[in-house]
Amino acid sequence: MSTGAFDTFGYEKVEVIRGANGLLTGVGNAAGTINYVRKRPTNEAQGSLGLSYGSWGTVRAEVDYSTPFTDDGRWAGRVVAAHEDGESWLRANENSRHYLYGVVDGQIGENGTLTLGYSYQRAKSDGIMWGALTFMDSDGTQNAWPTSASTTQDWTYWDTTNQTAFAEYAHQLGQDWQLKVSYNYRRATGDENMFYAFLRDTDEDGTAEALDPATGLGLYGYPWGGKDEATMHLGAVTLNGHFELFGRDQEAMLGLSVARSESDSWERSADFSSPAWGALPPFPYAANAIPEPAWSELSLYSVLNQRLKRAFGATRIALSERLKAIVGVNYAEYRRNGNSYALAFDQTTRHTSPYGGLTFDFSDQVLGYVSYSDIYQPQDQVDANDRYLDASKGVNYEAGIKAQWLDQRLLTTLAVFKADQQGLATPTGEYNEFGSTIYAPVDVRSKGVELEAVGRLNDHLDLVFGYTALKLDGLNGDDTYSWVPRRTANLLLSGRLPGYEAISWGVGGRWQSDIFNVEASGFRVRQGSYLVGNAFAAWDFLPNATLQVNVNNLGDEKYINTLRYSGYYGAPRNYSLSLSWRF
């Protein structure tokens, strides 16, 4: 369940940058970076309307309209709105979301462009699940619960409100250089009442009880409520452009940024005489099995202030017609101070992250590359003493070859990678007195190979394919992070009917190898390898109108979505029917 997840209808596209990326983000993570590109006004009036209905009574409506404000098109605006409401496959879970986004841009003089935008989102989730299902019995057997299984109660909820605003001014400095100044603001609030079901520690070594296979008893309850509020500010200045060196056109980028955030968190305690504390009924129990406790008034328990200052630069240099180099560096200073319960903290770290890469054109169709990236990632997890772990640091290497086929319609990439990351926050399986997971810093080495193919096989058939083989080693040389699949693959075939191009279709899926983890009881829970297939069909019954049906999990595969934190079953077979109209 993605409580408060941002609605993506306000974005033109979502870009995924694999590997460490301290050059652009200032922190860097070996997993990658997701870049959301906001929608901007268009030069001509245009819009779209959409309606959809799907499984579990999920209804969605959306509108997107852009128009110029002036006859010459120098100023324009765009408004985007969406509403979604429905239940889910998980027992007692209901979700609703309202989203609104507006943006205006225009020219200032002959060389300047100003953009202003604002978004608002209100999300409500009832019957939320906090924690994970317990899968193992005390005799060491693994339970297979109903797909809808959840430990929640119907009085739980998590409501969030997110507001963002941004301003951006770009000024053209001659033909070759551009200066950009930007400011981003975000305010986020949350209000939640949650219920946690856990296995009680009974042994000195920290091993917990397990479920009794005969009675289903063994879980204990922990109700918690709270509110939180956070504000974030980010200002940046960047200069990018072209210059001549070695008789060739080169590119460069320089920038400075300052970010700060302040967050306060309050909690309300549940009446200790409530049945929500202590031993719970046999699992699985009903959503109304435990009455809501009486709650205390809110009290402040956490204050967190964060600051991030960055200075960065990069250049792309053509050393020859075929050989090009990319060199960059990022300096970051990160400070965190505040208090959590009775513990006060004030931490400051500084780090310089270099980046380098080479590309070589073997031919018009084949390109090879090598790259090096630094990893620097501040972490918000705490150890057994409730102190934040130090930033994780390391290095990332990658080498690959890209080739074009079928008259440049198909692009394939074969890459090998390696990342060494020190002090990565890893859950220990234990919890502190406040119910929070205890983490320990672990050195992790990952290496693997990736294969991708994207493009058009013929005039009516498109292909997207990816395969990753991964190895993860811990400090002692053994496999670690066993909840991460070592093999993954995804495939999408799509196209249009050759004899009637008004109908388009697509079929694909994702596969992953088996995963496992150890529950608090000390028993290993396992999820075998599985494949989830999806398909869609669309009909352009008018030049500007489309009817589409999507079916997810075609084979109705039953699988545990993750074994890292909140393990519960993924969605069974489900569908949605949508109608879109463009004007």
pLDDT band at 60, cuts 50/70/90?
very high
66 contacts 43 by C-beta, under 8 angstroms: no
Tell me: pLDDT of 206 over 70. no
What is the pLDDT confidence band of residue 518, given thresholds at 50, 70 and 90?
Answer: confident
What mean pLDDT do residues 327-338 have?
Answer: 94
**Are residues 88 and 95 in contact, defined by beta-carbon separation less than 8 angstroms?**
yes
Contact criterion met (CB below 8 Å) for 328 and 353: no
Q: Within 10 Å of residue 391's Cβ, how many Cβ atoms?
A: 21
- Residue-wise pLDDT for 451-494, tens only, equals 999 999 999 999 999 999 999 887 555 678 889 999 999 999 99
In the block, tokens 């990753």 appear at 468
Domain regions of the chain by residue span? 482-583
Least confident interval from 39-43, 90-94, 151-155, 479-483: 479-483
For residue 223, pLDDT beyond 70: yes
Whether 27 has a pLDDT exceeding 70, the answer reads no
Neighbours of 333 (CB within 10 A): 15
The pLDDT of residue 434:
63
Query: Which of 41-45, 111-115, 430-434, 443-447 has the least mean pLDDT?
Result: 430-434
In sequence order, what are the residues at sequence separation of 6 or more whose Cβ sits closer than 8 angstroms to the Cβ of residue 483? 515, 516, 517, 562, 563, 564
Residue 544: DSSP 8-state = T
Q: Which residues contact 203 (CB under 8 A, 6 or more apart)?
A: none
> Above pLDDT 70, what percent of the chain?
93
The CA-CA-CA angle for residues 238, 239, 243, to 5°, reads: 155
What is the average pLDDT across 417-435?
A: 80
Q: What is the pLDDT of residue 14?
A: 80
pLDDT over 60 (residue 297): yes
Phi, psi for 581 (deg, rounded to 5): -135, 125
Cβ atoms of 448 and 421 within 8 Å: the answer is no
pLDDT at 513 over 60: yes
Question: Residue 568 gets which letter from DSSP?
Answer: -
pLDDT 10s digits, 535-553 = 999 999 999 999 999 999 9
For residues 583 and 46, the answer to whether their CB atoms sit within 8 Å is yes
> If 0-12 CB within 10 Å is exposed, 13-18 middle and 19+ buried, where does residue 266 land?
middle
Lowest-confidence pick of 343-347, 381-385, 453-457:
381-385
User: Is the bond into 223 cis (omega within 30 degrees of 0)?
Assistant: no
How many CA atoms are closer than 13 Å to the CA of 190, on its beta-carbon side? 19
pLDDT in tens, 358-367: 999 999 999 9
Instruction: Give the model's confidence band at 22: pLDDT under 50 very low, under 70 low, under 90 confident, else very high.
Output: very low
Q: Determine the average pLDDT of the residues in 209-227.
A: 93
* 356 pLDDT more than 70: yes
Give the pLDDT confidence score for residue 494 in this predicted structure.
98
Q: Which of the residue ranges 149-153, 210-214, 351-355, 472-476 would you say has the lowest mean pLDDT?
A: 472-476
Is residue 569 helix, strand or coil?
strand
Residue 248 has pLDDT above 80, yes or no: yes
Question: Which pLDDT value is given to residue 385?
Answer: 82
Pairing status of strand 248-268 against strand 177-199:
unpaired
**Contact in structure between 353 and 22 (CB atoms under 8 Å):** yes
Average pLDDT, integer, range 216-232? 95
Do the beta carbons of residue 82 and residue 62 sit within 8 Å? Answer: yes
What's the pLDDT tens digit per position in 96-123? 999 999 999 999 999 999 999 999 999 9
Separation between Cα atoms, residue 315 and residue 23, nearest integer Å: 11
What is the pLDDT at residue 437?
Answer: 77
With a pLDDT cut of 90, the percent of the chain lying above it is 75
Exposure string of 526-545, with b = 16+ CB inside 10 Å and e = fewer, is ebeebebbebbebebeeeee
Place of tokens 């780090």: 351
pLDDT for position 1: 46
Average of per-residue pLDDT across 342-371: 93
Least confident of 58-62, 222-226, 273-277, 478-482: 478-482
Count of Cβ atoms closer than 10 Å to residue 246 Cβ: 10
The 3-class secondary structure across 446-472, one letter per residue, is: EEEEEEEEEEEEECCEEEEEEEEEEEE
pLDDT at res. 521: 75
The least confident of 78-92, 191-205, 231-245, 555-569 is 191-205
Least confident of 301-310, 473-482, 511-520, 535-544: 473-482
Show Cβ contacts of residue 110 under 8 Å, excluding neighbours closer than 6 positions.
none
pLDDT at 23: 45
pLDDT at 207 over 70: no
pLDDT in the model for residue 26: 45
